[in-house]
Amino acid sequence: MRITLVTGDITTQNVDAVVNAANSSLLGGGGVDGAIHRRGGPAILAECRELRASRYIHGLPTGMAVATTAGELPARWVIHTVGPVFSAGEDRSELLASCYRESLRVADELGAAGVAFPAVSAGVYGWPMDDAARIAVGTVSVTATRVSEVRFVLFTADAHAAFDRALSLLDRP
Ligand code: AR6
C-alpha cells in the first residue's frame, strides 16, 4: 500500500472513498463533517438518517465506521468514522487506531482502491497533531487491506509537517 500526503480539502479529492471525522449522531457537525455534508449535498445526510433509524439507533460507537454514498462529491463513498475526544487522563489511542482499521475494513467491503483520510480527532476533538499523525500512519501501515492508496489530506501546513514526521519515523529501523 502506498501512503501519500497532500495539503488541501478532503471534499475535492478524486478517490474512491473519503473518510469523514463524524460524531456518533451521524447527523453532521463542523470541521470535515460540515464540509463533507455541505459539498456533498443532502443525499449523504438522508442515508445517515436511515442508518440511524435502522442499524445505529443509539448512534455509531466511537472507533467504528460505516459507509454512505458520496452525493455530489467526486468520491464514490463517504466512510463515516467516530474518533475519540482526546483525554489527557485516559489513553484512548486504541479507539483512534480503531477508526483507521475499521475505515479500511469498510473500504475493503466496498472494493475501494483509493481512500482519503483527514486527521481524525485532531480538530474539535482536541487530539495533539503529532500524536494523531503517529497513530494514523502507524495503524494504516500495519493494517492488512486491499486498499492500494491511502491519502492523508491535511488542512494546514503544520498538519502536513506532523504527518511527514510520522512517516519518516516509520521508515526508521
Ligand atoms: N479537509 C481536510 N481536513 C479538514 C477539513 C477539510 N475540509 N476541515 C477541517 N479539517 P475535525 P474531529 C481538519 O474537527 O477532531 C465535527 O463537528 C482539521 O483542521 O473536523 O475528529 C464532527 O461532527 C483537523 O486537523 O474532526 C464531530 O463532532 C482535522 O481535519 C467533531 O467535529 C479533524 O478536525 C469531530 O472532531
Q: What is the pLDDT of residue 171?
A: 73
E-state strands within 108-148? 114-117
Atom of ligand 1 nearest to the CA of 126: 15
**Stretch 134-155: mean pLDDT:** 98
Atom of ligand 1 nearest to the CA of 129: 25
Task: Decide whether any atom of ligand 1 lies within 6 Å of the 83 Cβ.
Answer: yes
ipTM value for the complex: 0.99
**Stretch 116-132: mean pLDDT:** 98
Q: Which three cell numbers stand for residue 42?
A: 443532502
Q: Which of 16, 33, 108, 158 is catalytic?
A: 33
Confidence of residue 172 (pLDDT cuts 50, 70, 90): low
Q: What is the DSSP string of 3-59?
A: EEEEES-GGG--SSEEEEEE-TT-S--SHHHHHHHHHH-HHHHHHHHHHHHTT-TT-
Distance between CA 116 and CA 70 in Å, rounded? 13
pLDDT digits (tens, 9 = 90+) for 84-118: 999 999 999 999 999 999 999 999 999 999 999 99
**Stretch 69-96: mean pLDDT:** 98
Question: What burial letters (b/e) apply to 132-156, b meaning 16+ CB within 10 Å?
Answer: bbbbbbbbbeebebebeebbbbbbe
Percentage with pLDDT > 70 across the chain: 99
What predicted TM-score, i.e. pTM, was given to this entire model?
A: 0.98
| Amino acid letter for position 138 | G
Query: Residue 118: what are its φ and ψ, rounded to 5°?
Result: -85, 180
Q: What is the pLDDT of residue 173?
A: 56
Distance between CA 144 and CA 58 in Å, rounded? 30
Distance between CA 60 and CA 141 in Å, rounded? 25
Partner residues linked to 5 by β-bridges: 152
